[in-house]
């Protein structure tokens, strides 16, 4: 017991000076800080011995998260296998996919019919009854750990459900509970906020406040009327929410996704986005984890333009989030497919080229959410692409309205006046597999499959942790049945949130099927990636000019090896001009290019073709 307490005291003393400075600088409340420290001690003492051992192991090997062996998958438990027990039974399949990082989409208790896909939490310490219990979650996590699979869980920071115990007490007039939220007797202050406060969902949930008829009060609701914004200017909110976060960590969760983190601090006269106090709160939570559960990583969901995203890493000396969503990469990759022009993607790779090696992104082609076209229109403007018409082009292309487009998607939050609709759909349907199979066009299907695999190869090449969206590995198509479901028809994101197709998955090893082409092709790529440390997340990445705007060149260097990734984003044969060297094709190890007299050589790629070329660095050969 004494030895166990000593670890806590050592970590506390290492961080107490900064923690106290940040906390009291934010709240000026010694009593609240004392409560915070006591809460940390209780959380540490409640942590199981197996998890404390995991903390020590991770601290001894801090670069595990940079390994090229990291591969994630995100899924909804109810769609994938019915409930948490069902997911546990399907772990062999997840392991077969090569996955060692499992992101379970929102599963905490939330009211049916007004949950926003699980992001309106009514109890942070209770699993949705239809999915199981907290004991079931712990059993699943333990089973994952035995298979060397990390588990990620969403933590909704900005708000609670209006059916949370705090919200219920607030409705009843409890002033302490009301102080956890933003309650007002009249519209004077809300109207002041509204002058600078953008709307998150101007179509489906306009406004930022909701009038509560039952208690005659006005409450801030930035997202939906049933999601009440928490007031982090109240230290009681930070204390209790940090306690909830640590409770989940003590269930064995390895990665905690901080949902909508840029929104959590509100100051009148600002847009209430990315304020300095947000970074203070996140740093405090990071320090809490460092003291109580240092193996637990924080994943920040920052759906903002790139210049607003990177600050959430903090600094190498004072980190905030351990990992960040690379939402910009997702939308830029799809822009690249529709335009057949790699210049914007190459520009963004150049922008992140000089970030510290410790900065870790989570990369993905598709996720549970829509694709918002938050592109760098300042850069695109130099090529004649202005924001509104370009967004319309992208949406027309990916919904199949543009002549010749094979994509089949649907729009989200579509209102003509705003010209800011977003896109929904599965990877396979957006790549053209759905249309090709419907038309029974074998040539189009081959092209669509090539595009799908090329995009996955690109995602696996980017710096960071690649994450698959469950079903993409077997080519699941859009699920239009949600249109007939009264509980789901109003949210077009349900088009890619369908039930996992286990019948289709049975075809993954049957030659000649779509499922096999994708599953086997992707498995080969994952295997190659895991065997080559040049794909490590801390291996430098840089853009390579191959003298063709239809081919993206990505360089990665680690140790004595250099990787060159080539990706043809067009449905035509395209030529890249690359450095002449003894290149070996990782996807065809028997093929080697012998260095010739010319310093540059031509390299041709088939439609939507890609290659991973690797060579030994010259300086190492000379040494």
Residue 333 counted as domain residue: yes
| CATH number, domain with residue 237 | 3.20.20.80
Q: Are residues 521 and 572 in the same domain?
A: no
Residue 213 counted as domain residue: no
Spatial CB neighbours of 552, under 8 Å, sequence gap ≥ 6: 336, 342, 345, 346, 458, 543, 565, 566, 567, 569
* pLDDT value at 620 more than 60: no
- Taking the C-alpha atoms of residue 616 and residue 620, their distance in angstroms, rounded to an integer, is 7
What pLDDT was estimated at residue 247? 98
| Confidence label for 63 from pLDDT (cuts 50, 70 and 90) | confident
Q: Are residues 417 and 461 in the same domain?
A: yes
| CATH number, domain with residue 599 | 2.60.40.1180
Residue 25 counted as domain residue: no
Q: Are residues 114 and 258 in the same domain?
A: yes
Percent of the chain clearing pLDDT 90 (strictly above): 85
Spatial CB neighbours of 234, under 8 Å, sequence gap ≥ 6: 179, 180
Active site residues: 259, 301
Q: For residues 361 and 329, is the Cβ–Cβ distance under 8 A?
A: yes
Residue 454 counted as domain residue: yes
Helix axes 30-45, 2-27, angle to 10 degrees: 150
Please say which residue of 501, 534, 567 terminates a domain.
534
Q: Are residues 526 and 557 in the same domain?
A: no
CA atoms within a 13 Å half-sphere pointing along the CA-CB vector of 321:
26
Q: Are residues 517 and 544 in the same domain?
A: no
Q: Are residues 120 and 73 in the same domain?
A: yes
* pLDDT value at 321 more than 90: yes
Please say which residue of 534, 559, 585 terminates a domain.
534
Residue 24 counted as domain residue: no
Q: Are residues 592 and 606 in the same domain?
A: yes
Helix axes 235-249, 30-45, angle to 10 degrees: 10
The better pLDDT of the pair 305, 411 is held by 411
Tally of domains in the chain: 2
The better pLDDT of the pair 351, 155 is held by 155
Say whether 118 sits in a helix, a strand or coil.
Answer: coil
Please say which residue of 510, 534, 558 terminates a domain.
534
* Cα-based angle 98, 103, 106 (whole degrees, multiple of 5): 155
Q: Which range has the worst mean pLDDT, 399-413, 503-517, 587-601?
A: 587-601
Residue 203 counted as domain residue: no
Q: For residues 577 and 605, is the Cβ–Cβ distance under 8 A?
A: no
Residue 148 counted as domain residue: yes
Q: Are residues 435 and 340 in the same domain?
A: yes
| Confidence label for 621 from pLDDT (cuts 50, 70 and 90) | very low
Q: Are residues 350 and 373 in the same domain?
A: yes
Q: Are residues 428 and 484 in the same domain?
A: yes
* pLDDT single digits (tens) 416-469: 766 789 999 999 999 999 999 999 999 999 999 999 999 999 999 999 999 999
What pLDDT was estimated at residue 622? 41
* pLDDT value at 263 more than 60: yes
Residue 48 counted as domain residue: no
Q: Which range marks the domain in which residue 500 is found?
A: 58-162+231-534
* pLDDT single digits (tens) 238-255: 999 999 999 999 999 999
Say whether 53 sits in a helix, a strand or coil.
Answer: helix
Q: Are residues 280 and 393 in the same domain?
A: yes
Q: Are residues 550 and 482 in the same domain?
A: no
pTM of the model: 0.94
Q: For residues 377 and 340, is the Cβ–Cβ distance under 8 A?
A: no
Kindly provide the residue ranges of all beta strands, DSSP E only, lying in 316-417, ordered along the sequence: 323-325, 360-363, 410-412
């Amino acid at each position: 017991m004494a030895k166990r307490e000593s670890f806590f005291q050592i970590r506390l003393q290492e961080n107490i000076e900064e923690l106290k400075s940040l906390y009291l600088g934010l709240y000026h409340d010694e009593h609240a800080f004392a409560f915070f420290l006591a809460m940390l001690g209780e959380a540490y003492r409640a942590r199981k011995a197996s998890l404390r051992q995991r903390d020590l192991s991770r601290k001894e090997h801090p670069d595990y998260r940079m390994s090229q062996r990291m591969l994630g998958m995100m899924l909804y438990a109810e769609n994938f296998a019915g409930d948490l027990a069902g997911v546990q039974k399907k772990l062999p399949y997840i392991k077969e996919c090569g996955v060692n990082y499992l992101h379970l989409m929102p599963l905490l208790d939330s009211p049916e019919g007004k949950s926003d896909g699980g992001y309106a939490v009514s109890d942070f310490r209770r699993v949705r009854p239809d999915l199981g219990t907290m004991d079931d979650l712990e059993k699943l996590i333990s089973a994952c750990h035995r298979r060397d699979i990390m588990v990620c869980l969403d933590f909704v920071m900005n708000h609670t459900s209006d059916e949370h115990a705090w919200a219920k007490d607030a409705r009843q007039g409890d002033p302490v509970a009301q102080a956890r939220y933003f309650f007002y007797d009249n519209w004077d202050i809300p109207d002041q906020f509204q002058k600078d406060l953008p709307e998150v969902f101007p179509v489906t949930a306009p406004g930022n406040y909701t009038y509560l008829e039952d208690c005659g009060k006005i409450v801030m609701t930035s997202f939906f009327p049933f999601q009440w914004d928490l007031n982090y200017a109240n230290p009681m909110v930070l204390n209790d929410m940090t306690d909830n976060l640590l409770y989940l960590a003590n269930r064995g969760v390895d990665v905690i996704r901080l949902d909508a983190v840029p929104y959590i601090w509100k100051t009148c006269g600002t847009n209430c986005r990315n304020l300095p106090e947000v970074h203070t709160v996140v740093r405090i939570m990071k320090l809490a984890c460092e003291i109580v559960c240092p193996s637990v990583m924080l994943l920040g969901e920052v759906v903002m333009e790139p210049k607003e995203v990177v600050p959430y890493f903090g600094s190498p000396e004072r980190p905030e989030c351990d990992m960040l969503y690379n939402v910009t990469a997702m939308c830029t990759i799809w822009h690249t497919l529709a335009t057949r022009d790699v210049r914007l993607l190459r520009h963004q790779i150049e922008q992140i080229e000089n970030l510290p090696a410790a900065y870790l992104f989570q990369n993905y082609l598709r996720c549970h959410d829509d694709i918002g076209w938050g592109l760098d229109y300042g850069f695109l403007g130099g090529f004649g692409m202005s924001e509104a018409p370009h967004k319309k082009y992208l949406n027309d292309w990916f919904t199949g309205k543009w002549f010749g487009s094979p994509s089949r998607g649907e729009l989200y939050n579509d209102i003509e006046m705003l010209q800011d609709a977003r896109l929904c759909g599965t990877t396979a349907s957006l790549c053209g597999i759905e249309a090709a199979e419907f038309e029974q066009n074998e040539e189009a299907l081959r092209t669509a499959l090539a595009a799908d695999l090329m995009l996955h190869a690109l995602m696996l090449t980017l710096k960071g942790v690649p994450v698959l969206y469950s079903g993409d590995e077997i080519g699941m198509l859009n699920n239009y049945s949600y249109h007939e479901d009264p509980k789901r028809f109003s949210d077009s994101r349900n088009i890619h949130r369908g039930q996992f197709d286990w019948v289709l998955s049975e075809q993954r090893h049957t030659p000649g099927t779509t499922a096999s082409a994708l599953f086997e092709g992707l498995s080969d790529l994952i295997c190659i990636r895991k065997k080559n440390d040049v794909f490590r997340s801390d291996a430098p990445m840089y853009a390579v000019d191959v003298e063709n705007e239809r081919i993206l060149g990505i360089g990665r260097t680690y140790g004595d090896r250099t990787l060159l990734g080539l990706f043809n984003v067009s449905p035509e044969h395209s030529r890249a001009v690359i450095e002449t060297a003894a290149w070996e094709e990782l996807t065809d190890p028997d093929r080697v290019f012998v260095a010739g007299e010319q310093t540059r050589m031509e390299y041709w790629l088939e439609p939507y073709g890609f290659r991973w070329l690797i060579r030994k660095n010259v300086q190492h050969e000379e040494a």
